[in-house]
Amino acid sequence: MRLLSWNVNSVRVRLEALRRVVRKYQPDVVCLQETKVVDALFPREAFTRMGFVDLAVAGQKGYHGVAIASRASITSRHRQALASSEDQRHLSVVTAGLEIHNVYVPAGGPLPDPRLNPAFAHKLDYLRALAAWTRSWPEPEEHPRVLVGDLNVAPLEHDVWDHRRLRRTITHTEAEVSLLEAAQDALPWVDVGRRFVPPQEKLYTWWSHRGDWRSRMQGRRLDHAWVSSALAPRLRGFQVAVEVRGWRRPSDHAPVIVDLDWPRADAAR
């Protein structure tokens, strides 16, 4: 089974790029963040034409929003509000017998001080709430689960282009990194990206729209894929579709792809 996760930064704007991504990588499940559209206006027919037989959406006008499309039927779906917020930032489904969580963590604004920046305080609260919630799940290590999404934190030294320079920059501050690590330990989760790419190697999924991203390559790893301990032995591959960042009218994020030794979604119809 192949899962693809992508912060599209507006699903309607990026629809043609999404079609191209699906044609090239043939994912069984697609998880999107920042869809930026209410449920009623979500382009469902486009996903049907791409071969997805079921769809779960949690939309919001102009902001946030997550969606999961599957080539197999979705047998359950759930939205979880965290940190006293009604923003649509989480969606989970069960499809082909696999529990998949799609998460979009708040960006946090420009100032890394929760006393002066309410957006940053909310981001920290959201990460705390995510850890507390996952800690309460049954069968934490035995149950096969996946969590993907734009977690808006680059936790490791080589998840950013300059560790020293960015230690006081939102996405790489000590407070965010500590809370993301707590959320990862809560289940505990296995970091798929770093299972395949050693921590001493650079790994990015996001590049700013400012300047020439190709020549500067000043990226960050903000998009993550985690699996439960039970699913870790079934990991078969991981990649970042970096080339998508260079397509026409790009998102500032590139898709993240995970391959699992799990019955393919089309076999579960």
pLDDT of residue 3 exceeding 80, the answer is yes
Query: For the residues 154-164, what does the mean pLDDT come to?
Result: 96
Count the neighbouring beta carbons within 10 Å of the beta carbon of residue 16: 12
pLDDT of residue 206: 96
| Single pTM value for the model | 0.96
pLDDT of residue 267 exceeding 70, the answer is no
Query: For the residues 14-29, what does the mean pLDDT come to?
Result: 98
The confidence band for 266, taking pLDDT boundaries of 50, 70 and 90, is low
Sheet holding 54-58, edge to edge: 54-58, 66-70, 29-33, 2-7, 256-260, 235-240
Query: For the residues 48-72, what does the mean pLDDT come to?
Result: 96
The confidence band for 216, taking pLDDT boundaries of 50, 70 and 90, is low
Range of the domain at 167: 2-268
Give the count of domains, the chain.
1
* CB-based contact 104:7 (threshold 8 Å): yes
CATH number assigned to the domain comprising residue 65: 3.60.10.10
Residue bearing tokens 């599209």: 8
